[in-house]
Structure 1
Amino acid sequence: MVYGYPSENVWELDLQRFGALQSSRTFLRHRVMEVMPLMYDLKVPRWDFQTGRQLRTSPLYDRLDAQGARWMEKHGFERPKYFVPPNNDLLALEQSKTFYKPDWFDIVESEVKCCKEAVCVIDMSSFTKFEITSTGDQALESLQYVFSNDLDVPVGHIVHTGMLNEYGGYENDCSIARLSKRSFFMISPTDQQVHCWAWLNKYMPKDSNLLLEDVTWKYTALNLIGPRAVDVLSELSYAPMTPDHFPTLFCKEMSVGYANGIRVMSVTHTGEPGFMLYIPIEYALHVYNELMSVGQKYGIRNAGYYALRSLRIEKLFAFWGQDLNTLTTPLECGGESRVKLEKGIDFIGRDALLQQKQNGVYKRLAMFILDDHDTDLDLWPWWGEPIYRNGKYAGKTTSSAYSYTLERHVCLGFVHNLSEDSGEEQVVTADFINRGEYEIDIAGHRFQAKAKLYPVVSFFTHKRRKDDVELSDFHGK
């Protein structure tokens, strides 16, 4: 135990993964009947529960389903994986369970290509959304203590930040937009809805002038990704959306089509150009229809979470719940710039991070590009594969995806420096990472891999401020 926290990640045992929606007797009865046989079954990658489905849906669910959406479930929320084009065998795709190259490979490739060359829409309504407001400075003062990054920024700016524990590990990784001097809008991973609410209530003062509100259900979130996103949104808003007028990591309320009060953020969570639109649910269908109508001449199409996964992993964007957890600190995953250590502002985990900065880190997140892996014939990496450095075990992968840009598989994972004599962990430096020769073990077969501390795929080339884009984007699940 360190600072009273477990020495291993126990998120899968945390009751705060669940909400009231999973306490229905009918839900529990059906889900338990499904879970028990799975204990003795071979779980293929990216399998989905069949019970308790269509419980939480976006207002666009029927529209997207009619256009070929195939669905996955997270915290009871239906999310599109990918969109099956017309005339494809839907049944075959739905039953394609394999450790090898999946049947959806070409579909996701076309969605990724559209995100890079034209414009796509991804429904990301499942993300947790909180508003924190106060009559005075209570909101800012409370959030400054709970979060690691400096939130005292000009109105309209967005801050990527961690919510850390006393060990310095991530309890949450999120984005916070300052809507006004005394109002903040917070975006977190889908399955953080209960945990994050409990954490904020634990550490924020009980003050009648300070209001914390869960507004997840109030907003539909659409991710407009691609170089032509600027053109689509400019036509619908009658406002200049270029980087000079709407810089990266900026938020403003504006009209889109006939709908007013749309919170538009210049961030995509994938590294591609584009915007997040947080739309009051009564306007969701109208805004979506307008985007698809105006976007036709720019090649717009729907995309799903599998395309988003490929885009974010090739950019070395670490997501909470997959790459980041309560035992991962910002200094171990390239998040130093998101910590206000030098500003003299106290926050949870500050002492631990100062100590770690002085002593060095004992693990480091890196990207691994597989060299001699045959995508068509070899077993795929999914996550949890052992990492070998110079022939010795050095950690395991946390997430992986095929990069359609690099035409290679890319894995993310943490490298450890284990003493040959005692097996004790030693400091991991950038030089230690760069000097090693690496292999990724997939089902007993080792594939050569190149380790990188920075993404190989370039960020989008639109004109941005030098400090606008950081190494890893926020949250993910």
Structure 2
Amino acid sequence: MRVFCQLRWPAIVDLDGRIYIRNWQGGILSGGFEKNPKPIFTEGRNQLEIQNLHEDWDHFEPLLSALLRRMPGLEALEIMQLVNCPESFTPDMRCIMGESPTVQGYFVLAGMNSAGISYGGGAGKYLAEWMVNGYPSENVWPLDLKRFGALQSSRTFLRHRVMEVMPLICDLKVPRWDFQTGRQLRTSPLYDRLDAQGARWMEKHGFERPKYFVPPGKDLLALDQSKTFYKPDWFDIVGSEVKCSKEAVCVIDMSSFTKFEISSTGGQALEVLQYLFSNDLDVPVGHIVHTGMLNEKGGYENDCSIVRLNKRSFFMISPTDQQVHCWTWLKKHMPSDSNLLLEDVTWKYTALNLIGPRAVDVLSELSYVPMTPEHFPSLFCKEMSVGYANGIRVMSMTHTGEPGFMLYIPIEYALHVYNEVMSVGQKYGIRNAGYYALRSLRIEKFFAFWGQDLDAFTTPMECGREFRVKLEKGTDFIGRDALMQQKQNGVYKRFTMFILEDHDTDLDLWPWWGEPIYRNGCYVGKTTSSAYSYTLERHVCLGFVQNFDKKTGEGLVVTPDFINRGEYEIDIAGQRFQAKAKLYPFSSLFTQRRRKDEMELSSYQGK
């Protein structure tokens, strides 16, 4: 709601009062974002008409009071008009832009969340580039229409969510902050069981995922209300989950992962996937290949793992929020041939991640078959029985670098398999764990994450994943020419790990992500991920380092020598902390073993 009166004044924003004030036709215009917004979509009114609604002075009164507190002199002036009109908001406070996932060539730019004037120039530029060139000149994934799916288009969901969104525009959002409305939309079959065991939840693409598990006797209320940029209340809880994953065995429900099956009656599935993915997928049945789906510039459209189920069928695992984007990209580049079938099977499987050295003991008892590396090598998949349930896809990987297995379980067996795993695992010290522990484990192992570390402008050469690319696999693939050029000319940014050296975890502000990186006192990039490493007992940040010419500001090639010879600092809220830069994780033995496994498994040529 906005009010007009006669006065000249500079533009002012008062976040505490939730108001703004600016010049308007010889007077001023003032409006704000009330804490109790009124949705236009109410029962009996389903058509949105862009017109002024009736004046509502009672509803505007809190904003008017804030305006008069900030500028008492306005009380003597005449208010000329109160404007009450509808405005559009999105479920996550960010606008939507890009090509429709269902109608090719139809582009969208909408939902400005009352920031259209601020966003207009940049949003219009990027959308124009997208329409003309097929892609924008910068990463706009946080605004991409395909971050949403049909599940977020429910009228009831939108009504409740946007009523929460609008008041948050003036609020300070703490790290790991979650929406409270529109929850429990997508849940694993294990949701109620995990909730009863102390799970605290986060939401991703509408899917409920456990953050951590509150042990019995902890102050649940205090943990639920923990809001800080400093050391959080869940620090010790997550630390115990990480410790369990390194010394015993823990289980994480990762059912939200996007899962596709691609098959054909002949060899067309392999042929098409070889063109769409950078690694070699012509591997023996049962082998797992980590690979990227790249664009013409060599950037990541998706980062995923693919299992060869048989000669004509593949199982693809991708990040949770890639469900719509990945499906759209695959459909766009696959030939319209009846012999090729793409099926979204995300809803068909519950995924349990068993992490830790005793995971092998738990599964050995439940499957009655040897699960040792000799019988079940790294990056391998077998369909087997677990407890009474048959047809479980067991994979020797954990997405963390720790030993263990991923279990993809048909949903009707999910509760049974979980109960069996927890029952047998008691003697091995099993416990539930959440995504905060997973995050700590993957960051200390220098694992990049799509959507945060990787995007459509990041290539495998820039993030140390050239071993996941087979330039000479015998067939062309999207992005190959760009990668060949990078291999010859060098890269202009390089993914780097930073370990904070003089940072006090208990007293200093924590790094969360987006902090500036300085090399020898000069800005060279920003962090993309961060977490506390309970193994190193230090904060670890991941980010990209660039090399800018000091005179022209032009980007130069970044070499390992450039990285290794610098003195680094990470700026956290204006305070710089010394950091040690690494191009590989501290566990070099682990790195060598992981790369050796992946290179061997992807080097098979149709054996």
The TM-score with structure 2 as length reference comes to 0.76
Within a 5 Å distance, the mapping from 1:285-296 to structure 2 comes to 285-296=415-426
Answer yes or no: is the 8 Å Cα contact 1:397–1:414 preserved in 2. Answer: yes
- 1:453 match: 583
- 1:126 match: 256
Within a 5 Å distance, the mapping from 1:41-120 to structure 2 comes to 41-120=171-250
Of 439, 442, 446, which residue of structure 1 is paired with 2:572? 442
CA distance in 2, matches of 1:427, 1:395: 14
Within a 5 Å distance, the mapping from 1:328-367 to structure 2 comes to 328-367=458-497
Answer yes or no: is the 8 Å Cα contact 2:289–2:598 preserved in 1. Answer: no
- 1:314 match: 444
**Which is worse superposed, 335-344 or 200-209?**
335-344
Q: Does 1:160 align with 2:296?
A: no
Of 375, 385, 389, which residue of structure 1 is paired with 2:519? 389
CA distance in 2, matches of 1:39, 1:467: 49
Secondary structure in structure 2 of the residue aligned to 1:341: coil
Secondary structure in structure 1 of the residue aligned to 2:164: helix
Within a 5 Å distance, the mapping from 1:155-304 to structure 2 comes to 155-304=285-434
Answer yes or no: is the 8 Å Cα contact 2:467–2:595 preserved in 1. Answer: no
Q: CA separation of 1:465/1:402 partners in 2, compared to 1, >3 Å: closer, same or farther?
A: closer
Of 468, 471, 475, which residue of structure 1 is paired with 2:597? 468
Secondary structure in structure 2 of the residue aligned to 1:283: helix
The residue identity in structure 1 corresponding to 2:445 is K
CA distance in 1, matches of 2:308, 2:485: 30
- 2:544 match: 414
Q: Does 1:369 align with 2:479?
A: no
CA distance in 2, matches of 1:465, 1:67: 34
CA distance in 1, matches of 2:490, 2:164: 45
Answer yes or no: is the 8 Å Cα contact 1:145–1:347 preserved in 2. Answer: yes
CA distance in 2, matches of 1:431, 1:464: 24
Q: Deviations over 1:99-133 (max 9, x none)?
A: 00000000000000000000000000000000001
The residue identity in structure 2 corresponding to 1:83 is F
The alpha-carbon deviation at position 467 of structure 1 amounts to 1.1
The alpha-carbon deviation at position 344 of structure 1 amounts to 3.6
- 1:428 match: 558
CA distance in 1, matches of 2:508, 2:398: 32
Q: Deviations over 1:300-328 (max 9, x none)?
A: 00000000000000000001011000000
Q: Does 1:5 align with 2:123?
A: no
Q: CA separation of 1:465/1:452 partners in 2, compared to 1, >3 Å: closer, same or farther?
A: closer
Q: Deviations over 1:331-356 (max 9, x none)?
A: 00011011111234211111111111
Q: Deviations over 1:52-83 (max 9, x none)?
A: 10000000000000000000000000000000
CA distance in 2, matches of 1:317, 1:336: 14
Answer yes or no: is the 8 Å Cα contact 2:304–2:318 preserved in 1. Answer: yes
The alpha-carbon deviation at position 469 of structure 1 amounts to 5.6
The residue identity in structure 1 corresponding to 2:597 is D
CA distance in 2, matches of 1:452, 1:469: 21
Answer yes or no: is the 8 Å Cα contact 2:231–2:509 preserved in 1. Answer: yes
The residue identity in structure 2 corresponding to 1:442 is I
The alpha-carbon deviation at position 458 of structure 1 amounts to 5.5
CA distance in 2, matches of 1:197, 1:99: 36
CA distance in 1, matches of 2:595, 2:152: 44
Secondary structure in structure 2 of the residue aligned to 1:332: coil
Secondary structure in structure 2 of the residue aligned to 1:178: strand
Secondary structure in structure 2 of the residue aligned to 1:307: helix
Q: CA separation of 1:114/1:465 partners in 2, compared to 1, >3 Å: closer, same or farther?
A: closer
The alpha-carbon deviation at position 466 of structure 1 amounts to 6.6
The alpha-carbon deviation at position 39 of structure 1 amounts to 1.9
The residue identity in structure 2 corresponding to 1:225 is I
The alpha-carbon deviation at position 457 of structure 1 amounts to 3.7
Answer yes or no: is the 8 Å Cα contact 1:386–1:440 preserved in 2. Answer: yes
The residue identity in structure 2 corresponding to 1:328 is T
Q: CA separation of 1:301/1:211 partners in 2, compared to 1, >3 Å: closer, same or farther?
A: same
Answer yes or no: is the 8 Å Cα contact 1:243–1:464 preserved in 2. Answer: no
Q: CA separation of 1:12/1:143 partners in 2, compared to 1, >3 Å: closer, same or farther?
A: same
Secondary structure in structure 1 of the residue aligned to 2:151: helix
Answer yes or no: is the 8 Å Cα contact 1:315–1:459 preserved in 2. Answer: no
Q: Deviations over 1:225-252 (max 9, x none)?
A: 0000000000000000000100000001
**Which is worse superposed, 89-98 or 33-42?**
33-42
Name stretches of at least 5 consecutive residues in structure 2 with no aligned partner: 1-128, 600-607
- 1:474 match: none
The alpha-carbon deviation at position 459 of structure 1 amounts to 6.2
CA distance in 2, matches of 1:4, 1:358: 26
The residue identity in structure 2 corresponding to 1:329 is T
CA distance in 2, matches of 1:144, 1:469: 17
Answer yes or no: is the 8 Å Cα contact 1:79–1:126 preserved in 2. Answer: yes
Of 104, 115, 135, which residue of structure 1 is paired with 2:265? 135
The alpha-carbon deviation at position 33 of structure 1 amounts to 1.4
- 1:473 match: none
**What is the percent sequence identity of the aligned residues?**
87
- 2:34 match: none
The alpha-carbon deviation at position 5 of structure 1 amounts to 2.5
Q: How many residues align?
A: 469
Q: Deviations over 1:393-445 (max 9, x none)?
A: 00000000000000000000000000000101000000100000000000000
The alpha-carbon deviation at position 4 of structure 1 amounts to 4.3
- The RMSD of aligned alpha carbons is 1.4
Answer yes or no: is the 8 Å Cα contact 2:302–2:450 preserved in 1. Answer: yes
Secondary structure in structure 2 of the residue aligned to 1:356: helix
**Which is worse superposed, 288-297 or 30-39?**
30-39
- 2:4 match: none
The residue identity in structure 2 corresponding to 1:215 is V
Name the larger-Rg structure. 2
Name stretches of at least 5 consecutive residues in structure 1 with no aligned partner: 471-477
Within a 5 Å distance, the mapping from 1:13-28 to structure 2 comes to 13-28=143-158
Secondary structure in structure 1 of the residue aligned to 2:442: helix
Q: Deviations over 1:183-228 (max 9, x none)?
A: 0000000000000000000001111111100000000000000000
The alpha-carbon deviation at position 43 of structure 1 amounts to 1.1
CA distance in 2, matches of 1:246, 1:343: 26
Q: Deviations over 1:247-287 (max 9, x none)?
A: 00000100000000000000000000000000000000000
